[in-house]
Amino acid sequence: MEIIYILIIGAVSGWLAGQIMKGGGFGLLWNIILGIVGSFVGGWVFNMLNISLNVGSATVNTIIQSVIGAVVVLFVAGLFRGR
């Protein structure tokens, strides 16, 4: 059940990251896929840096963390995409 929760949070995070990175996104589907990857990246980075968010509920903290990870993933993927 937790994996479904992570996938949903990742999909929402990917969409939000696509909105934040206007012009730097890859379209809705790819933003969602990269958002799911970014959700894992955000969780890993925050754990490695021992950063804890205390903004609201655990779900809000997870979404913020995932959006940050998704923005990073979209940015890095944009570097590899030819312009």
pTM for the full predicted model: 0.81
Q: Is residue 83 classed exposed, middle or buried when 0-12, 13-18 and 19+ CB atoms within 10 A define those classes?
A: exposed
Tens digit of pLDDT for each residue in 17-74?
888 887 656 777 887 888 888 888 888 889 899 988 888 788 888 888 888 998 888 8
Report how many domains make up the chain. Answer: 1
Domain that holds residue 43: 2-81
Q: Provide the token pair at 51.
A: 């950063």
Of the candidates 36, 46, 35, 48, the one whose C-alpha atom is nearest the C-alpha of residue 75 is: 35
Beta carbons of 19 and 71 less than 8 angstroms apart: no
Beta carbons of 6 and 66 less than 8 angstroms apart: no
